[in-house]
Structure 1
């Protein structure tokens, strides 16, 4: 009997099971399997809370993260519950029904669908930062590690920075070399063979304020642009191939979060003070400025917010963690809400197939957003299956 057939049997029999799953630290969930999809199962879970009630919730568990299924202990737990307090249990479930929550997916524009590509370890909630496309898929950072997510949602640790460094920005060049910035001011260069070295140690006081590197972008001549966001006073550094650096932009009002280099050779920057994306030439000169949202829409406590990505039509996508949204700026300079209902999104990146990937740090998951097939566009779907 195949693993999927066995899971389908749990659905048909309404059998209570315990599932061990996770990446790194293991999680457990006890409940009944409601459905089996091609990449996840939908579990109705029950838990006894400190308020004395049984809380009911639904959890999507990715198939590739399932480590073990325990039938016996789950059945024993159910028998004990039924033997001791069958009437009370039924009453508790009824009382808890209003607290039941379905898997929350953000609202997407008509013609687009959203699905959970990978559920990450909830223990690291809100510690996930930045996302970038790279060889074979998309990559994101968590603390001092860079993780790779393939098309099936499978996670692999790609690289790790030693010590207590916290990665705030990552970007691959055309040769597959990974550049990483840390909030502590260090910029690393990591070759495809995973050998790495320090490219530069930046002094944030040169832009005004302190040091809290936020993001980076790679120029047409392999120069590196790094944003600094200790506060609304900050700026952008430019690093050459040898590691020598200079301040490109700095001072009050120039604290910069996300960076993006477009195909025309312009640098786009998210300045928190005005909630604007600023288009700059590579010598730092301001070319255009577009307000994306009010500054209060973006997180101020860290530099992870305002991640930028551009689609094939030249539209820019911007994360706004405090607003729980992804905004889209079109080529005419108008900003619109693209996704809403997220919890602290910190990363966006486009895959090779044109799909948009969103790193939702508040719910510890990676979402995939893609245009629906033409036959499906008559309905405003918010989930792909």
Structure 2
């Protein structure tokens, strides 16, 4: 039976946390809580007193009741905004939105009407209003800071050569303060013009500049420790506070001067007390998850776009699943999409077109391959070579363990997304556009042999003995396929996979240096005890699927924790 905290709404089931239906002998268990507010970025209080949250990854804007934490979508799939990253409210109550990847700035009236302010800014991000005046900066190298005019007048450039701008605000002295994320600096410029001034240097990864109700300057860090740096504007004296909120993005102060912060790495909204204590207003969780793997110690690792996130290993935690966010370990590995564990190492693909190998023990990462086109699923061969589904190029690759030499195993596929090996070492691949699972029998022999076709966008893939498991994302179910006979059976249905925010909307294209919101990837992994682990990216959880007995007679995943 679900506990009250486990009944959080999922993204595909707003009314509650409905469980998937499972086949005979299988049981589904969440390893973490659903995440109702994933990818939280710019935040600002609206005229209605609610905290409005721009969600770049979700393509939506939500409103949070500051008393209860209840979340309501106010800008969603039916609206013209694609990838909101920051927002601000004007004196008349209108909401101004920085739509990052399409390069647009919108004005949304209190009645919900949209007006395009401009489509001529590259990667608009930081946005703020000073009375009825509107200011926006660009998140890119050699970026600019503008005053924009909703009445159609030409923009005015107030500052240029920004090293990736972001959240900014006017200070008590009337100047606009803004960060240079890539140089660790805070700058300021007067809204009425004049040369910009360097205000603070050597600030830890500044992502947002905010002033509390008393006029104190607070700079947020986007790094793993969640640092807040308070800088006295007169003396320059600094105090640094570690919040533990990995990947801070933005902050807002309510009428009582409570500080609320957002996290691009884990979503949610967190209250930060002056002494560093934190309290979740909206709990954090997973942005995806996407690729998934499990190591021999039973620790589950997921590629979560902005981070590599891991659950506790069995016996490490004092409570049963579903784990709270505080039990998850996050390493900021940007644009992580696929992951595989072997021999104490974690191998990842990224949306930057790279293959990485991460050593958790030493917390070091090295780049193995660059220049790929949207690599997704990854697996490790018995000889240590990496197998990669390069979806954007329609290829399956082998990366040699010794010298990282890349060999093409298959080409000409529509969209290969995941790879797995059977007991004989043969490579299998899912293609969600072809709707099939293929086996690659001979290197360089073409697209391979069809194992199963007519599938509904298969993605995550596992081969276990003489059975193959794949996630049919279009039909939201987990399918088992007998390799000897081709017989199919449904293991679980009504799975929370897929991203509802993308419905009816083409994915925005990646601008230079910034990956657009990632395409859905429902990864699948086999645990050492025989359970299956599924990336339930429709609600932000990892699902564990247990069976009482495996087809070969061995124990099949053990008992799931009581819920």
Check whether the contact 1:348–1:358 (CA below 8 A) recurs between aligned residues: yes
Match of 1:219 among 369, 376, 381: 381
In structure 1, distance between residues paired with 2:442 and 2:331: 30
- Report the counterpart of residue 406 of structure 2 in structure 1: 245
- Report the counterpart of residue 314 of structure 1 in structure 2: 466
After TM superposition, give the deviation of residue 120 of structure 1 in Å: 4.2
Check whether the contact 2:535–2:542 (CA below 8 A) recurs between aligned residues: yes
In structure 1, distance between residues paired with 2:448 and 2:369: 28
Change (3 A) 1:329 1:110: same
In structure 2, distance between residues paired with 1:142 and 1:123: 14
- Runs of 4+ in structure 1 deviating by more than 6 angstroms, as ranges, are none
Matched, 1:41 2:3: yes
Write out per-residue CA displacement over residues 237-294 of structure 1, whole angstroms, 9 at most, x where no aligned residue: 221132221322222x342111012221111101234311111146254664222543
- Report the counterpart of residue 7 of structure 2 in structure 1: 59
In structure 1, distance between residues paired with 2:23 and 2:3: 26
DSSP 3-state at the match of 1:307: strand
DSSP 3-state at the match of 2:425: coil
After TM superposition, give the deviation of residue 341 of structure 1 in Å: 0.5
- Report the counterpart of residue 118 of structure 1 in structure 2: 32
Change (3 A) 1:269 1:60: same
Match of 1:263 among 393, 409, 423: 423
Write out per-residue CA displacement over residues 300-354 of structure 1, whole angstroms, 9 at most, x where no aligned residue: xxxxx6111233x331211122221111111322233221101216122222222
DSSP 3-state at the match of 1:352: coil
In structure 1, distance between residues paired with 2:406 and 2:543: 36
In structure 2, distance between residues paired with 1:343 and 1:291: 23
Check whether the contact 1:181–1:187 (CA below 8 A) recurs between aligned residues: yes
Check whether the contact 1:265–1:282 (CA below 8 A) recurs between aligned residues: no
Matched, 1:169 2:338: yes
In structure 1, distance between residues paired with 2:454 and 2:350: 26
Write out per-residue CA displacement over residues 126-179 of structure 1, whole angstroms, 9 at most, x where no aligned residue: 632011121422211111311112344344225332xxx311211112x21111
Matched, 1:141 2:294: no
Change (3 A) 1:100 1:323: closer
In structure 1, distance between residues paired with 2:428 and 2:542: 24
DSSP 3-state at the match of 1:185: coil
In structure 1, distance between residues paired with 2:23 and 2:543: 15
Change (3 A) 1:351 1:246: closer
Match of 2:495 among 335, 342, 347: 342
Mean CA deviation greater in 104-113 or 131-140: 131-140
In structure 1, distance between residues paired with 2:453 and 2:295: 26
- Report the counterpart of residue 73 of structure 1 in structure 2: none
In structure 2, distance between residues paired with 1:383 and 1:328: 24
In structure 2, distance between residues paired with 1:235 and 1:318: 19
- Report the counterpart of residue 29 of structure 1 in structure 2: none
After TM superposition, give the deviation of residue 102 of structure 1 in Å: 5.1
Task: List gaps (5 residues or longer) in structure 1.
Answer: 1-36, 44-57, 62-98, 204-210, 299-304, 374-381
After TM superposition, give the deviation of residue 383 of structure 1 in Å: 10
In structure 2, distance between residues paired with 1:361 and 1:344: 5
- Normalising by structure 1, we get a TM-score of 0.62
In structure 2, distance between residues paired with 1:267 and 1:225: 8
Change (3 A) 1:384 1:185: same
Check whether the contact 1:117–1:368 (CA below 8 A) recurs between aligned residues: yes
Aligned length: 266
Alignment root-mean-square deviation, CA? 3.0
In our comparison, the structure showing a higher alpha carbon Rg is 2
Check whether the contact 2:476–2:497 (CA below 8 A) recurs between aligned residues: yes
Check whether the contact 1:113–1:384 (CA below 8 A) recurs between aligned residues: no
DSSP 3-state at the match of 2:382: coil
In structure 2, distance between residues paired with 1:158 and 1:102: 27
In structure 1, distance between residues paired with 2:349 and 2:452: 26
Check whether the contact 2:352–2:374 (CA below 8 A) recurs between aligned residues: yes
Write out per-residue CA displacement over residues 101-128 of structure 1, whole angstroms, 9 at most, x where no aligned residue: 4531111111222222211433227632
- Report the counterpart of residue 186 of structure 1 in structure 2: 354
Change (3 A) 1:102 1:135: same
- Report the counterpart of residue 199 of structure 1 in structure 2: 368
DSSP 3-state at the match of 1:122: coil
- Report the counterpart of residue 450 of structure 2 in structure 1: 289
After TM superposition, give the deviation of residue 234 of structure 1 in Å: 1.0
DSSP 3-state at the match of 1:123: coil
Check whether the contact 1:113–1:383 (CA below 8 A) recurs between aligned residues: no
In structure 1, distance between residues paired with 2:417 and 2:528: 25
After TM superposition, give the deviation of residue 215 of structure 1 in Å: 1.0
In structure 2, distance between residues paired with 1:371 and 1:184: 37
Give the helix-richer structure, 1 or 2: 1
Match of 2:435 among 242, 253, 275: 275
Check whether the contact 1:114–1:384 (CA below 8 A) recurs between aligned residues: no
- Report the counterpart of residue 328 of structure 1 in structure 2: 480
Check whether the contact 2:290–2:523 (CA below 8 A) recurs between aligned residues: yes
- Report the counterpart of residue 109 of structure 1 in structure 2: 23
Matched, 1:353 2:529: yes
